[in-house]
Amino acid sequence: MTHTRDSLLTRITEILHEQFDVEPGSITLESRLREDLDIDSIDAVNLMIELKSITAKKITLDNFHQVQTIGDLIEAVLAFLAQDQVAN
């Protein structure tokens, strides 16, 4: 299954709403996870687990501390998926 930025935004919005009660209308590519969406470091771990529904296997983002916004997160997931494809 291929993912686009749009499909990832939709899915991540769903996850944030279901798991962390974030208002979907408040989520844009520029939203900062910590400051704007109130996602703390413990939420971030649960978020990584939930992202498995997109990436099929447990996602490891070595550079997660660099992920600040929803846009960053989408790029990081895309990079992970691309890397995963090369590895296979």
Partner 1 sequence: MMALLGWCWRLAATGFCFVLFAFGALLLGLLLAPLIYLLPWPLVRRRQLARRSIQRWVRFYLWMMRKLGLLTISFAGEQSLQQPGVLVVANHPTLLDAILLMAVMPNATFIVKAAMARNPFTRWIVALAGYIPNDEVGVELVEKAAAALRTGETLMIFPEGTRTQGDTLTLKRGAANIALAAGCPLLPVVIDCQPLTLRKGEPWYRIPAQRPHFSVRVLPLMELAPLINRAQPPGLQARALTAALSACLQAQLQAHR
Closest contact distance (angstroms) between CB of 22 and partner 1 is 9
Per rule CB under 8 A, is residue 19 in the interface with partner 1? yes
Per rule CB under 8 A, is residue 35 in the interface with partner 1? no
Between CA 5 and CA 77 the distance in angstroms is 10
Cβ proximity to partner 1: between 44 and 61 the closer is 44
Per rule CB under 8 A, is residue 18 in the interface with partner 1? yes
Tokens of 51: 């992202």
φ, ψ (nearest 5 deg) of residue 32: -90, 130
Residues 6+ apart with CB under 8 A from 72: 66
Instruction: Give the largest CA-CA distance in the chain.
Output: 37
- State which of positions 36-55 bind partner 1 (CB under 8 A): 40-46
Q: Which residues bind partner 1 (CB under 8 A)?
A: 18-21, 40-46
